[in-house]
């Protein structure tokens, strides 16, 4: 395998380019974007240990999305004849690859669904802004709702930050990549791949991941059924409910601008 280096903002490949290799991220961060009728939409942000660009190479088709380095990034390039040896036969890389692949499939399905419906409102565009520094904290309110679960209090240091119901079957755990997994018994309010917190177009957002019941962000429903798959998060306190409006999974997301 050869090693390549990309600087922040550099396009690794564009949608429609010829596919000749896949990439394994050694260091850095890469964003995958898809062109839709509403413009470019973020499909995934992936980091060290993750693989991208393999589908076009395997299927011998042009690139179906654009990959851009969000920071200085080092990758190993994987040719088609190396893919089985470097990925399929290595359990550590295979599990990461499958989780990344399933997440991409879910996101693509959501984007394609919304792009075919002209009446679906998307996240409002933010005004151009400088690059301030923020602190984002997530805190559960289970003491108020009475749900029997250990308190959750996290400072979010990576984006997207994915939330979902915990998997009890380890054989299928590769189907989800969650940064916060919440134990829950039937009847479920949470989906295994429920939502994610991200930063897009100059603002923090909460984005649905194809959940069954959706979420509520400051009183606004976010779900595929409601037609709104993401909602902005304001600086200050945001009240979040995961599931139905009366769900016990209530959280406060606090966004503090540090300067």
Rounded average pLDDT over 148-164 = 90
Q: Is residue 125 included in any domain, yes or no? A: no
User: 13-72, pLDDT tens digit by residue?
Assistant: 999 898 888 898 999 999 988 877 667 777 778 888 888 888 777 666 788 889 999 999
106 and 138 in a common domain: no
pLDDT confidence of residue 122? 35
Cis preceding linkage at 187, omega within 30:
yes
Q: Is the pLDDT of residue 129 over 60?
A: no
140 and 236 in a common domain: yes
User: 160-170, pLDDT tens digit by residue?
Assistant: 898 999 876 54
CA distance 49 to 244: 35
193 and 107 in a common domain: no
State which residues form the domain around 43. 2-115
250 and 138 in a common domain: yes
Q: Quick one: which H or E segment has residue 214? A: none
103 and 24 in a common domain: yes
Phi then psi dihedrals of residue 73, to 5 deg: -135, 140
52 and 147 in a common domain: no
The CATH number of the domain holding residue 63 is: 2.60.120.10
Residue 58 makes CB contacts below 8 A (sequence gap 6+) with 80, 83
The CATH number of the domain holding residue 234 is: 2.60.200.20
143 and 109 in a common domain: no
Query: Could you say which of 68, 85, 115 is where a domain stops?
Result: 115
Closest CA to 31 of 236, 205, 224, 200: 200
106 and 139 in a common domain: no
Rounded average pLDDT over 116-131 = 42
pLDDT confidence of residue 95? 72
Query: Could you say which of 115, 149, 164 is where a domain stops?
Result: 115
Domain count, the chain: 2
Q: Is the pLDDT of residue 257 over 80?
A: yes
pLDDT confidence of residue 118? 33
Burial class (CB in 10 A: 0-12, 13-18, 19+), 24: buried
Q: Is residue 253 included in any domain, yes or no? A: yes
Q: Note if the pTM is more than 0.75.
A: no
Q: Is residue 129 included in any domain, yes or no? A: no
């Amino acid at each position: 395998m050869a090693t390549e280096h990309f600087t922040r903002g550099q396009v690794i490949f564009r949608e429609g380019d010829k596919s000749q290799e896949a990439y394994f991220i050694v260091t850095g961060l890469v964003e995958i974007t898809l062109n839709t009728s509403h413009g470019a939409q973020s499909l995934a942000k992936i980091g060290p240990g993750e693989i991208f660009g393999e589908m076009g190479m395997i299927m011998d088709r042009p690139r179906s999305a654009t990959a851009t380095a969000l920071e200085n990034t080092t990758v190993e390039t994987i040719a088609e004849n190396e893919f089985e040896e470097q990925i399929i036969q290595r359990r550590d890389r295979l599990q990461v690859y499958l989780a990344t692949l399933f997440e991409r499939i879910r996101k693509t399905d959501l984007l394609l669904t919304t792009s075919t419906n002209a009446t679906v409102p998307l996240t409002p565009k933010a005004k151009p802004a400088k690059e301030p520094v923020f602190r984002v904290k997530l805190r559960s309110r289970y003491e108020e709702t009475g749900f029997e679960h250990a308190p959750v209090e996290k400072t979010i240091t990576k984006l997207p930050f994915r939330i979902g119901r915990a998997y009890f079957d380890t054989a299928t755990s590769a189907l989800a990549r969650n940064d916060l997994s919440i134990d829950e018994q039937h009847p479920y309010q949470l989906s295994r791949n429920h939502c994610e917190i991200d930063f897009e177009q100059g603002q923090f957002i909460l984005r649905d991941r194809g959940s069954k019941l959706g979420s509520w962000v400051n009183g606004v429903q976010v779900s595929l059924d409601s037609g709104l798959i993401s909602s902005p998060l304001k600086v200050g306190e945001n009240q979040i409910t995961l599931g139905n409006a009366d769900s016990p999974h209530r959280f406060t997301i606090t966004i503090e601008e540090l300067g």
